[in-house]
Amino acid sequence: MRVLPRLNEAVNEEWLSDKGRHACDGLQNQRLDQPYVRVNGKLKPASWAEAFAAIASKVKAVPGAKIAALAGDLVDAEAMFALKQLMTALGSPNLDCRQDGAALDPAVRASYLFNSGIAGIEQADAILIVGSDPRREAPVLNARIRKRYLRGNVSIGLIGEKLDLTYPYHYVGATPDLLAGCKPPEGSKAPMLILGMAALARPDGAAILEMARRVAEQCGVIKDGWNGFNVLHTAAARVGGLDVGFVPGAGGKDTRGILAAAGKGEIDVVYLLGADEIDTAKLGNAFVIYQGHHGDRGAHRADVILPGAAYTEKSGTYVNTEGRVQRAERAVFPPGDAREDWAIIRALSEAVGKKLPYDTLDQVRAGMRSANPVFAALDTVTKAEWKPFGTSGSISATGFDYPIKNYYMTDPISRASRTMAQCTEEFVMGGKGRTGTHG
């Protein structure tokens, strides 16, 4: 069995990476198919009523300021919207969809989008890549950059680690401070800046974001009819999470703050919605609720496990790196007693005495559209207003820590894939590095 690509000229044309085609066998392994509750240090099978009762007894005894929630990289927008509403009802401002701590500005949509659109790569005549390895972080998008290179008359530059991107480029250097002195070639009409997560998920990420904005404004990356300021995401859920506002409320803590507070005993309850890419050792003695579809890192730390549905097992909304709202439809049902994620949160809300105001998926989506009109336009990109963003500050002259160490295992599904395990053994441990988009 394999996944076949959808024909979509604006996004992937007819392409899909080999990983995208073959990692789907991970959907059959290490699945969570029933609730669990930790009793005397060990996770034991439980009914939904028992799992909800365990959560309710803890949550009702804790003030909202000591409750937090983190959303993972594969979560649908409906689930994040529902959990945000539940956290608000519980009085908690502590929530974040940025597991890696990326310094994205949720108040300015243009600050976190691939604003030119993926197809806009073909219009660019100068491309500067900063803190990103697009070949591994977005292979199909990287193929579009290669396509643009093959057409000729384009200048490509790179700030970061020297990489094999399948096309030649001018190497500017390793550190982000070099961005301040960058300019597109004289006569460039459509310059593009691609900013990766390695540039933003660092302590000086907000300052790098601000400097990138200033450079873009000064160098013609932003002008009438053209916005070449592009953020390249590595998480399928990230833009959707920012669009539903799954970020700290007034006085709330972000990912780093939540983990630090949990470690010091200042956060008593942490809700992990498919959040598996955090350091769970930093959760300290917090009571951890894990909702997800695989027995991955978050589930191992949980005190209560709520089995959710993978993306193939539910109808869900996702927003890609360019801000295109897309709908995934259910192909199969989730295993065992697992349920769709928004429905789990809706049922839990009633158990904790904070019943959410909807009973159907359509009602959830109506709430999303009311909260943010971008969700009303499926399969289209809503242009974002350009406004100031980022925070001025000092930038460290240190290299980037790229988010993908092993291309073949980046999430709970691919980590559970036997095919990806074989690829890791052959291509990573064997010293090879092909990704299925090699030129």
* Burial class of residue 243, CB neighbours in 10 A (0-12, 13-18, 19+): buried
* Burial class of residue 155, CB neighbours in 10 A (0-12, 13-18, 19+): middle
Pairing state between β 67-71 and 155-159: unpaired
For residue 255, the one-letter residue type is: T
What one-character DSSP code corresponds to residue 81?
H
SS3 string, 274-301, reads CCCCCCHHHHCCCEEEEEECECCHHHHH
pLDDT at 437: 59
pLDDT at 430: 83
C-alpha distances in Å from residue 73, one per residue of 70, 96, 187, 243, 370? 10, 11, 40, 14, 24
**b/e sequence 362-379, b meaning 16+ C-beta within 10 Å:** eebbebbeeebebbeeee
pLDDT in tens, the chain (439 residues): 899 998 999 999 999 999 999 999 999 999 999 999 999 999 999 999 999 999 999 999 999 999 999 999 999 999 999 999 999 999 999 999 999 999 999 999 999 999 999 999 999 999 999 999 999 999 999 999 999 999 999 999 999 999 999 999 999 999 999 999 999 999 999 999 999 999 999 999 999 999 999 999 999 999 999 999 999 999 999 999 999 999 999 999 999 999 999 999 999 999 999 999 999 999 999 999 999 999 999 999 999 999 999 999 999 999 999 999 999 999 999 999 999 999 999 999 999 999 999 999 999 999 999 999 999 999 999 999 999 999 999 999 999 999 999 999 999 999 999 999 999 999 999 855 555 555 5
Closest CA to 232 of 291, 320, 168, 170: 320
* 3-state DSSP assignment of residue 307: strand
- Residues in contact with 252: Cβ distance below 8 Å, sequence separation at least 6, in sequence order: 92, 93, 94, 95
Token pair recorded at residue 41 = 């240090």
Please check whether residue 268 is in contact with residue 304, taking contact to mean a CB–CB distance below 8 angstroms.
no
Distance between CA atoms of 192 and 382, rounded to whole angstroms? 19
pTM: 0.95
Closest CA to 32 of 272, 335, 270: 335
The label of the residue with tokens 């799992």 reads 51
**First-residue to last-residue Cα distance in the chain:** 25
**b/e sequence 294-316, b meaning 16+ C-beta within 10 Å:** bbbbbbebbbbbbbbbbbbbbbb
Cβ neighbours around 56 below 10 Å, total: 16
